[in-house]
Amino acid sequence: MPVVEGRPALHIVGMIREKADPLELFAEWFAEAEKGEPNDPSAMALATVGADGMPSQRMVLLKDYDAAGFVFYTNYESRKAQQLLAHPKAALLFHWKSLRRQVRLEGPVTKTTPEEADAYFATRARGSQIGAWASDQSRPLESRFALEKRVAEVGARYLIGSVPRPAHWSGFRLQPTLIEFWQDGAFRLHDRLEYRRASGDAPWSTRTLYP
């Protein structure tokens, strides 16, 4: 290793290999996260904005992704859903600490179709299906007992047969116009590769960014 003023010189080596389609790169990173991230590799921070312009953030789970966008599900009467319905733009962040990587996405948000929501809801654990009916998500809860009582009531209502999807429970799809891949580097000399496009059907342009 070369020496500069009595100290080893820094070797800056790019670790992100650019691809024409950012989804191909995301698929590679996500597959590695599924193997190496010990807890919820599909967990992502969702940022929305309220009527007063105040941003709000919480963790949700990625349930599907393809060229059309990144999909997650929620109660449409929740705070995040109400913000998305009023201001259909959002940002997502995946942080895979064990891999020392993160991916940021920004773009417009649309509703999933009822058929998509029905298909996913049918795959959920029965307890989660019942919870979707029992929880008035984001609204005040008078006691834990009140929630448990409601869960028991819904469970009794659907004791036999399948649990239907509540009309207020469905999904959103974020179609990214910006995707940034970040890889941790020594001495905080991180790698950053940004993909950007004007709209969902426009071609991607790329650029590398300073750490």
SS (H, E, C) 159-182: CCCCCCCCCCEEEEEECCCEEEEE
pLDDT (tens digit per residue) in 155-195: 999 999 999 999 999 999 999 999 999 999 989 999 999 99
Question: Which is more confident, 3 or 19?
Answer: 19
Told to judge if 188 belongs to the known catalytic residues of this protein, a careful annotator would answer: yes
pTM recorded for the entire structure: 0.90
Q: Return the pLDDT at 9.
A: 44
CATH 2.30.110.10 is the classification of domain 3-116+174-208: yes
pLDDT (tens digit per residue) in 44-88: 999 999 999 999 999 999 999 999 999 999 999 999 999 999 999
Give me the residue spans of the domains in the chain: 3-116+174-208, 123-164
Is the predicted pLDDT of residue 1 greater than 80, yes or no? no
| The Cα angle at residue 162 between residues 132 and 118, in degrees rounded to 5 | 60
> Active site residue: 188, 192, 196, 197, which one?
188
Distance between CA atoms of 183 and 204, rounded to whole angstroms? 20
Distance between CA atoms of 165 and 27, rounded to whole angstroms? 30
Is the predicted pLDDT of residue 6 greater than 70, yes or no? no
Q: Give residues with Cβ within 8 angstroms of 187, minimum separation 6.
A: 10
